Amino acid sequence: MTTARTNNFDAYKDTEILTANQGKLIVMLYEGAEKFLKIARDNMEHTSYDIVNQNIIKAQDIVTELMLSLNLDEGGEIAQNLFNIYAYMKKRLLEANMNKDGEILKEIIGLLGDLKSSWEEVAQKELNKPEPVAASRPEGASFSIQG
């Protein structure tokens, strides 16, 4: 990619992130983690372990961010269950990185995919919610109700 195209793409991604709803942002995090783990898995075959390590760490960072974004006080059982799943993923990713185990990566990619599907539904519902009607009207505007 040329520098101009790269800059345009980066600007587009920045705009997409800034304008996304919360559900869409979470979906984007899952997509990023999946992408990094697939890169790591593909490079295990070529024994490019530095690339494997870097990409597993990037995925771990995303899972950590997902954990930190949970509101355990208000999220109840769902938030706690997600926290436990994320903790499990982090543990398994550490094992995968230490042992260079592609099967573990496959397992975590599957978990991420399942969770991503659920969040895609949430994000879609957020998009379909009607906008709240403003309670105030512009200055000078008037209306009457005919009965």
User: Is 134 part of a structural domain of the chain?
Assistant: no
Task: Give tens-digit pLDDT for 95-141.
Answer: 999 999 999 999 999 999 999 999 998 888 877 776 555 444 444 44
Q: What is the pTM of this model?
A: 0.73
User: Is 13 part of a structural domain of the chain?
Assistant: no
Provide the number of structural domains found in the chain.
1
Distance of CA 78 to the CA centre of its chain: 17
Residue type, 119: W
Segments forming the whole domain that contains residue 31 = 22-128
Tokens of 79: 């938030």
Task: Give tens-digit pLDDT for 32-72.
Answer: 999 999 999 999 988 889 999 999 999 999 999 999 999 99
User: Is 66 part of a structural domain of the chain?
Assistant: yes
81-109 exposure pattern, b = at least 16 Cβ within 10 A, e = fewer: ebeebbeebbebbeebbeebebebbeebb
- Which CATH number characterizes residue 74's domain? 1.20.120.340
User: Is 59 part of a structural domain of the chain?
Assistant: yes
